[in-house]
Amino acid sequence: MANKSKKKNGITLGILVVILLLVILCYILLINRNQSKEEEQEDTSIVLNNYEIEDVAELSIEQDNNTLHFIAEEEGFVMAGEEDFPLNQSQVELMVNTIAKLSAEGIVTQEPEDLEQYGLSKPQVTAKLKLKDGTSVTLWIGDTIPSNSSRYAKLDGSDTVYKISSSVRSYLEKTKKDLIQADELPTVSGTIQTIKIEDVNSTIRLFYEENNELDRSGSNVNPWVIEGVNGRMSADTSAVTELLDRYNSFSTIECVDYRKENFEQYGLLNPIKALRIFYLEETSQEETIQEETIPKEITLYFGSQDENGNYYVRTEDSVFTYLMSEETVNSLLFPDLESLIDKYAVRVNINTVEKISISYGKATHTAEIKRIKSTEITAEDETTQIEDNFILDGKEVGNDSEFRTYYQKLISLQGKEILEESVSLTEEPVLSIQIERNTDNFSTLKAEFFPYDSSYYIMQLEGTPKFLIDMRDVQTFIEETDKIFSR
């Protein structure tokens, strides 16, 4: 039995030794694999230049027969020969560092037979960096390497052709317009009060008027006024609010010039269009801890168009010329003013209404509103409630929900477009609505609807023909009136 036990223990020990050897072998293989990966990930780039930007005196870049030449001065880089150019310093520093801290991704060949096959006999970009100690470095950038997006490149004075990142060229591939450090267009930092769109022939004005006498609601629901080719008309507040968003800030494509003397070539010396925005800016006074409003103005001038239809634009006090897309300019200078006009027939708050008279065909209906006041007194408080009592053709129906629904349809009657032509109304109206109110302004409102053509009626307000309204809307309202008064 003892021999069998020893033999069994020996087998077990042998198995354990084999397992241990396998574990050690796997561990060694894992270490070697990780080392191999680290070697693969090891940076194989070749440092070509390693200079500090403070040591750079000049940088010149030639591409597409154009040359950019920058000179270092105490306060930064300037454009050689055009020292007043408003240079974007961060962009220039990026270009300088691209050459000063240059690395190659690898060597293509150290003894090229023909530079033309790499696009280096006539390089697409030539960048020359000159240091303050007199050292100079010139980089040539050639064609794109077919297998990837990298570029062929070489340094002047060396035969070696390198592979460099395509980003090197993209950093250097700038135009003067790309490097202008321009002021941003101003933005509205307050509440817009007036928008004026001017040209040589006319002026359109959209303005806020605290007590708009044209507002037929009688309760200053629509304090905005449109003044233009159709005279003065009240504007719908909700439509104006939506429009004003586009005038708070302005987007441009690019800044194209910085010299005032060049305005004429862009049509900006005597611009044909101007946009003026007047707004109130709120400021806090630290001494009084009070807020006051300061009137401010933004003016944009619009000149000629480029070959793509984009407009040249400048502001009132700036020397910069910008390019703005045709779509943006059209939205600013040619808004749909007709969509802003208040075209409602009788949109008034029911709480101001005392009597409604409606006539069509041989039918005439009246709706009166009598308000019943009730007071409830408790130990803690006294509350007063007012309840409407509707009287339809002399019949009391109380605070009728169906009539309230009908009233919403009445005040929703709305014209589709302005009546541009002068008309003489000789026929009887198809529908007449008169509202008597408890307001000082427009205490009586009258809307009449006359035949026009096979699709529209003319809407006359207070005796003046103003809008065209869809015939179907009027007929539907007449049908609803029949229903509510025939109950």
pLDDT at 10 over 90: no
What is the mean predicted confidence (pLDDT) over 213-234? 89
What is the mean predicted confidence (pLDDT) over 121-135? 95
Cβ neighbors of 304 (< 8 A, separation 6 or more) are: 266, 267, 311, 312
Euclidean distance between CA atoms 247 and 12, whole angstroms: 88
Question: What is the distance, to the nearest Å, from the Cα of residue 209 to the centroid of all Cα atoms in its chain?
Answer: 27
Report the chain's mean pLDDT, rounded to a whole number: 90
Least confident of 29-38, 99-108, 132-141, 411-420: 29-38
Tokens of 104: 């190659």
- The model carries a pTM of 0.76
Q: Are 236 and 244 spatial neighbours (Cβ–Cβ below 8 Å)?
A: no
Question: What is the distance, to the nearest Å, from the Cα of residue 361 to the centroid of all Cα atoms in its chain?
Answer: 51
Say how many residues make up the chain: 487
Q: Are 452 and 460 spatial neighbours (Cβ–Cβ below 8 Å)?
A: no
pLDDT at 41 over 80: no
pLDDT at 42 over 50: no
Q: Are 154 and 160 spatial neighbours (Cβ–Cβ below 8 Å)?
A: yes
pLDDT by residue (tens digit) across 348-370?
999 999 999 999 999 999 999 99
pLDDT at 106 over 80: yes
Euclidean distance between CA atoms 271 and 256, whole angstroms: 17
Euclidean distance between CA atoms 439 and 351, whole angstroms: 10
Residue in this structure with the two tokens 């800016």, named with its chain if needed = 281
Cβ neighbors of 191 (< 8 A, separation 6 or more) are: 279, 280, 282
Q: How many other CB atoms are found less than 10 A from the CB of residue 149?
A: 9
Amino acid at 95: M
Least confident of 61-75, 134-148, 288-302, 318-332: 288-302
pLDDT by residue (tens digit) across 296-324?
999 999 999 999 999 999 999 899 999 99
What is the mean predicted confidence (pLDDT) over 204-219? 91
Query: Domains in the chain, ordered, with CATH?
Result: 46-179 (no CATH), 191-340 (2.60.40), 350-485 (no CATH)
Q: How many other CB atoms are found less than 10 A from the CB of residue 418?
A: 14
Residue in this structure with the two tokens 């240059």, named with its chain if needed = 102
Amino acid 52: pLDDT: 96
Tokens of 398: 């109380």
Q: Percentage of the chain with pLDDT > 90?
A: 76
Question: What is the distance, to the nearest Å, from the Cα of residue 150 to the centroid of all Cα atoms in its chain?
Answer: 37
Amino acid 37: pLDDT: 43
20 confidence band (pLDDT: 50, 70, 90): low
